Amino acid sequence: MAQMDQVFAAVSARAEPVESFHLAVNSKARNLIFSLYRDFPDPGRMRGQEKF
């Protein structure tokens, strides 16, 4: 669980280089329906590097 928390903290920051990978994966997703409940925004999230 601790490893998952560490990885999520790194990914949820939405900073480079992770943000480029996030954009690449999301650009290939089509017709998805999913649900995720969590507190938002993430405490470690950086602003300004998002590539929506």
pLDDT of residue 20: 94
- Residue 50: which pLDDT band, with cuts at 50, 70 and 90? confident
Token pair in block for residue 47:
């602003």
Mean pLDDT of the chain: 85
Average pLDDT over residues 12-27: 90
Reported pTM: 0.50
- What is d(CA 39, CA 30) in angstroms, rounded to the nearest whole number? 25
pLDDT of residue 1: 82
Nearest Cα neighbor of 43 from 3, 16, 8 is: 8
pLDDT of residue 31: 92
